[in-house]
């Protein structure tokens, strides 16, 4: 059986997990975002984009791969030694979750496809997550994961240029209505990794990140970038967030300036994050819903 056939055999697999919207975790998220933690109590509404603190992986320590992720081959296709990157997500919010809610997530693998791009072969995995609370489905999310083989055959270290896609210029017509510039530090990235129980070493282990994966510095977590984009925009949005689509374009790095931009146009808001050279690294489109 060839690899393509083996990978496609995993399409259709499902997994069910249980969790709860923990008061402690919600308050820690607030603290990480420089918000007052005590504002959140049992029964408080949790901001839409904070759902990422739910369902952190519970893989046994002995099942983790060298990069800190759980080994593939169980729910995900066997892609051993491949390097995982966040591709993007598409989320729709149906109702707000509240602190104290018991929640369930049903995940389905809907796409597993071997592809080839300018930088060599990769495997695209798409997962669909449905998160429910007592009152029904709260949100649905499609998540894209990209797995690339090491680029330097017979060598652990890969040249950074092979792993960092070419930056894309922001469209000329994109005029931000708001902007915020910051330089994320290792503590912010560590706290987010701890909140989401993310063991990927490129977010905290600089020697590994530089010498094994070939990046120049610790890599910003794609989920954290999306969170900061949406949270920066929240104060400027006239209505609730009904959903958003986000796509990673090229890596952002700890210690380097990131500018979070946005503008509202009708029922949507365009958001984008730029690295220190002003090039677009992350893009999102927010669908606006009901008035606040």
Contact 281, 274 (CB under 8 A): yes
The pLDDT score that the predictor gives to residue 3 is 56
CA distance 207 to 215: 10
The pLDDT score that the predictor gives to residue 173 is 52
**pLDDT tops 70 at residue 158:** no
Question: Per-residue pLDDT tens for 25-53?
Answer: 999 999 999 999 999 999 999 999 999 99
pTM: 0.88
Report how far apart, in Å, the C-alpha atoms of 127 and of each of 87, 133, 141 are: 11, 20, 8
Question: Per-residue pLDDT tens for 91-121?
Answer: 999 999 999 999 999 999 999 998 887 767 8
The pLDDT score that the predictor gives to residue 116 is 80
Banded model confidence at residue 151, pLDDT cuts 50, 70, 90: low
The pLDDT score that the predictor gives to residue 278 is 93
For the chain, give the mean pLDDT: 89
The pLDDT score that the predictor gives to residue 166 is 44
CATH number at residue 106: 3.10.129.10
**pLDDT tops 50 at residue 162:** no
**pLDDT tops 80 at residue 170:** no
Domain span holding position 45 = 3-291
Question: Per-residue pLDDT tens for 53-94?
Answer: 999 999 999 988 889 988 887 888 888 768 888 889 999 999
What is the total count of domains within the chain?
1
């Amino acid at each position: 059986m060839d690899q393509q056939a083996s990978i496609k055999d995993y399409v259709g697999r499902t997994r069910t997990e249980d969790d709860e919207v923990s008061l402690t975790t919600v308050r820690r998220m607030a603290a990480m975002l420089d918000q007052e933690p005590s504002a959140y109590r049992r029964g408080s509404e949790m901001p839409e984009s904070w759902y990422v603190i739910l369902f952190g992986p519970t893989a046994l320590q002995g099942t983790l791969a060298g990069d800190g992720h759980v080994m593939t081959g169980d729910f995900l296709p066997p892609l051993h030694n491949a390097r995982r990157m966040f591709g993007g997500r598409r989320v729709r919010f149906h109702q707000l979750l509240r602190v104290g809610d018991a929640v369930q997530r049903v995940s389905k693998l809907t796409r597993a496809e071997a592809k080839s791009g300018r930088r060599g072969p990769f495997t695209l995995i798409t997962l669909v997550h449905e998160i429910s609370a007592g009152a029904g489905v709260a949100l649905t999310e499609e998540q894209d994961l990209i797995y690339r083989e090491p680029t330097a055959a017979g060598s652990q270290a890969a040249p950074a240029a092979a792993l960092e896609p070419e930056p894309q210029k922001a469209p000329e017509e994109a005029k931000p209505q708001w902007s915020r510039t910051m330089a994320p530090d290792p503590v912010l990235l560590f706290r987010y990794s701890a909140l989401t129980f993310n063991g990927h070493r490129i977010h905290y282990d600089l020697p590994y990140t530089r010498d094994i994966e070939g990046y120049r510095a610790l890599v910003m977590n794609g989920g954290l970038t999306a969170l900061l984009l949406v949270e920066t925009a929240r104060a400027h949005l006239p209505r609730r967030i009904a959903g958003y689509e986000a796509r990673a374009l090229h890596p952002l790095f700890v210690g380097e300036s990131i500018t979070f931009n946005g503008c509202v146009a009708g029922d949507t808001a365009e958001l984008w994050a730029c690295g220190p050279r002003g090039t677009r690294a992350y893009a999102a489109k927010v669908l606006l819903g009901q008035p606040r």
